[in-house]
Amino acid sequence: MIASVDDLHVTLRGNPVLRGVSLSVRPGEILGLVGESGSGKSMLALSLLGLLPPDAHPQVTGTVEVAGVDMVHGSAAAHRAVRRRELGVIFQDPMTSLNPTMRIGRQITEVTRDRAQAVQLLEHVGVADAALRLRVYPHELSGGLRQRVMTAIAVAGRPSLIIADEPTTALDVTVQAQVLKLLRDLRDEYGCSVLFITHDLAVAAQITDRIGVMYAGRLAELGPTRDLLTAPAHPYTAGLLRSRLSLSTPRDRDLPTLQAEAGSRGSGCAYHPRCPLAVDRCAEEQPPLTGSDHQKSCWRDISDMPAGNSAPDPGGHGAAAEGEPVVKLRDIRCDFKVRNGWRRAGTLKALDGVDLDVAPGEAVSIVGESGSGKSTLLRVIAGLIKPTAGTREVTGGTQMVFQDAGSSLTPWLTIGELLRERVLKLGRAEQDDRIEKALTAIGLPITVATARPRQLSGGQRQRVALARATIVPPAVLLCDEPTSALDASLAASVLNLIRKLRGDLGMAVVFVTHDLAVARLMGDRIVVMTGGRVVETGAADDLVSRPQAEYTRTLLAAVPEITS
């Protein structure tokens, strides 16, 4: 075994984050660790590294062994030696995970200071002009190149185990495919093992040999990738697979969701309050991880699992009314002045001649990678950015919902105050009435009105952002990646809510996303953008099944899918 943990419990600031995990990484395998935020997967990685945050006063019981060294008790020097010789790490965000003030060549071979080796490693991870690139700083590279540099750092010490913590989450989907391939190639070449942590089962499906599914600090299920994806043994895994949004999810039904998290977990299985199979025993007794090759931690038999329960979508799909467009953009251009290092200022064409019409009540998805201009376009529609050239006609009001609901809600105002701001012209009684209606419409109890944003979960905050946007129904609701910061099970319910609100209020929706599957589900029509231009527009299903533009095809090919 390269690395193993046995009955590992970790408590940070008094909160249990790992509650009895046993797991071994076999030589040469890629082991996926899949779970939603807070499931403990990153803490498991930090435990293996011996880098649990000391300010959180970690309390650890159980064992963690890497290359035969005890990573819980041994000396700090011994831990450092293991990290230097046996482990390589790739973290999620390559921008913040690289030292911004050190040249990348120095960062790659910081331990050996061997320039030739740095060049060789950079070439190895697919960076062209490696010798020249040694002297650049991280901010001078693109996201994909930065993650390649991070990978070069990880393999520099010829590790026996690479720990990759969400290595592709911050990357565009086409770049993600390249980095996944790189990781697989490096494993083959160096013969090392990889612990691959992700929240996305489909990404794990692309690269892993085995997958461990984590829930609330424990392994729910552990098995060979193909087995686990085709015949999940734990209701949580089955639910995750079912609620995953893919290019073949039915468009005319409500999106399948997992039951929302509710209530206390008590002493039994942590999943039981959300589990469709839960019986009394589940609430009282923690099921152990059993089985030989394909293990699960559940008292019940998965074959009792009820079939999918998604109702037909009651929303007004395809209800786009005829009539004058509510949004009419003609030849919109948007230039930004950029200064790049010591060089002269240049011009970035964020939008380069975009035309767009949105009919009343129509839903349009705009899809593109980072830097495609999709968010800029949305801001132009909202009137937040004045275009450099072109005409913009928007009839009726617009409202916007942003990606990070946490930072788009004023932290010191209560939810009630945030909503009231939008209806100040009305009488007090009517204000209260509208707030209550708005909260009911988004499925939150009226008591939320007295809460402040930080007391709510991410999904609840995004719901509040939606309530704020729709308390006075706008003609057009503008959504900027509203679910990309949410876990899969929450994302689906927020998307359902947007669809429902659209039907109820008869508003048009412009939905910006990087995810083609989501774009297809949220739009009657999809607009594909790259480099500030529209490359293709089409009805949602047509565009996905019969893409015309080369770029759309590339994008489609890079979408990770689970094939059974």
Partner 1 sequence: MIGFLTRRTGAAIIVLLVLTGAVFVLQQYSPGDPVKAYLGANASPAAVAAERVSLHLDDPLLSRYWHYLTQAIRGDLGISFRTHRPVVTDLGAFLPATVELVVVAFLFALLLGALFATIRTLAGTLVRGILLVGATAPPFLLALGGIILFYAHLGWLPATGRGGDGFLLAHSLVTGDWAVFGAGLQHVVLPAFVLAVAPAVSIGRILRASLQQTLGADHVRTARAKGLTEAAVFGRHVLRNSIGPGLSMAGLQLGFMFAGVVVVEQIFSWPGIGNYLAESIPAADYPAIAGVTVVLGAVYIVTNTVVDMIQALADPRIAL
Which positions lie near partner 1, rule CB under 8 A?
49, 51, 55, 80-85, 87, 89, 91, 93, 96-102, 110-111, 137, 139, 150, 153, 157, 339-342
Q: How far is the CB of 98 from partner 1 (least distance, A)?
A: 6
Q: Please, which residue, 49 or 270, has the CB nearer to partner 1?
A: 49
Q: Please, which residue, 80 or 226, has the CB nearer to partner 1?
A: 80
Q: Please, which residue, 68 or 312, has the CB nearer to partner 1?
A: 68
Q: How far is the CB of 101 from partner 1 (least distance, A)?
A: 5
Q: Please, which residue, 96 or 450, has the CB nearer to partner 1?
A: 96
Q: Please, which residue, 110 or 114, has the CB nearer to partner 1?
A: 110
Q: Please, which residue, 85 or 115, has the CB nearer to partner 1?
A: 85
For β-strands 3-12 and 59-66, DSSP reports them as: antiparallel
Q: Please, which residue, 81 or 382, has the CB nearer to partner 1?
A: 81
Q: Please, which residue, 81 or 451, has the CB nearer to partner 1?
A: 81
Q: How far is the CB of 199 from partner 1 (least distance, A)?
A: 18
CA atoms within 13 A on the CB side of 272: 21
DSSP 427-481: -HHHHHHHHHHHHHHTT--GGGGGS-GGGS-HHHHHHHHHHHHHSS--SEEEEES
d(CA 182, CA 151): 9
Q: Please, which residue, 51 or 279, has the CB nearer to partner 1?
A: 51
d(CA 469, CA 510): 13
Q: How far is the CB of 190 from partner 1 (least distance, A)?
A: 17
- Tell me the three state secondary structure of residue 335: strand
Q: How far is the CB of 316 from partner 1 (least distance, A)?
A: 45
d(CA 275, CA 260): 10
Q: How far is the CB of 506 from partner 1 (least distance, A)?
A: 45
**CA-wise closest residue to 516 among 547, 550, 489, 479:** 547
DSSP state of 290: B
Report which secondary-structure segment, H or E, holds 271: none
Q: Please, which residue, 101 or 264, has the CB nearer to partner 1?
A: 101
Q: How far is the CB of 89 from partner 1 (least distance, A)?
A: 4
Residue where the block lists tokens 């719901």:
463
CB count, 10 Å around CB of 38?
A: 16
d(CA 256, CA 312): 11
d(CA 363, CA 382): 16
The two structure tokens encoding residue 196: 């691959």
Q: How far is the CB of 341 from partner 1 (least distance, A)?
A: 5
Q: How far is the CB of 99 from partner 1 (least distance, A)?
A: 4
Q: How far is the CB of 242 from partner 1 (least distance, A)?
A: 34
Which residues does residue 219 pair with via DSSP β-bridges, in sequence order? 214
The torsion of the CA quartet 274, 275, 281, 284, rounded to 10 degrees, works out to -30
Q: How far is the CB of 212 from partner 1 (least distance, A)?
A: 21
Q: Please, which residue, 169 or 286, has the CB nearer to partner 1?
A: 169
CB of 475 within 8 A of CB of 454?
no
Q: Please, which residue, 323 or 341, has the CB nearer to partner 1?
A: 341
- Tell me the three state secondary structure of residue 349: strand
Measured N-to-C along each axis, helices 428-441 and 458-470 cross at an angle, to the nearest 10 degrees, of: 130
- What count of residues does the chain have? 564
* CA 20 to each of CA 2, 10, 41, 165, 220: distance values in angstroms, whole numbers, following the listed order: 20, 8, 13, 20, 11
CB of 36 within 8 A of CB of 42?
no
Q: How far is the CB of 75 from partner 1 (least distance, A)?
A: 12
Contacts of 521 (CB under 8 A, 6+ apart): 245, 249, 251, 255, 495, 540
